[in-house]
Amino acid sequence: MMRTNKLGYAAVIGMEAYLSRSVEKRLYELIKLRASILNGCGFCVDMHATAGAKHGIPQRTMHAVGAWQHARNLFEPKEHAALALTDAITKLGPDTVTDEIWDAAAEHFDDAQLGAIVMAICTINVWNRIAIATEMAPPLDDKHPIV
């Protein structure tokens, strides 16, 4: 993608740069990890679990992202709301982004924050689709060992 569509890739990088300044780091990594799990993107799951650890997110919390609804005590209420919104936007359908899900998120985030979170969810979904379409795999080398 970076070699074949430089302008498109740069646009997504630009979104990433904006969002990394607009969404709290812990929340952003949880959103990216959750969407990547839902989309089955092994490359992105590995990347965001690794990044989450570097940002100080406890391993138990990151492991629980896959079943956050049943491990609510490992997440803050605002994270519940953001993860529910991530699920709804990532699994689009007629009844996914309900008023209940949106209103729960709006209790924790103002309009600007909600807008950034929606864009964050959309952007990780773009990255997931790029990584899956181009068959990206988690790196495994001296810089990226299995520890």
Question: Which long-range contacts link 91-99 to residues 24+ away (Cβ below 8 Å)?
Answer: 91/38
The C-alpha atoms of residue 79 and residue 93 are separated, in whole angstroms, by 22
- Predicted confidence (pLDDT) at residue 102 exceeds the cutoff of 60: yes
Domain ranges in the chain are: 12-133
Number of H helices, E strands in the chain: 7, 0
Q: How far apart are the first and last CA of the chain?
A: 29
Written out in words, the top-level CATH class of the domain with range 12-133 is mainly alpha
Per-residue pLDDT of 49-92, as tens digits, reads 999 999 999 999 999 999 999 998 999 999 999 999 999 999 98
Identify whether the C-beta of residue 108 lies closer than 8 Å to the C-beta of residue 114.
no
Listed residue (12, 23, 51) closest to 120, CA to CA: 23
Listed residue (28, 10, 16) closest to 79, CA to CA: 28
pTM: 0.92
Q: In the block, which residue shows the tokens 């970076």?
A: 2
Query: pLDDT above 70 covers what percent of the chain?
Result: 97
- Please compute the mean of the pLDDT values over residues 93-116 and round it to a whole number: 94
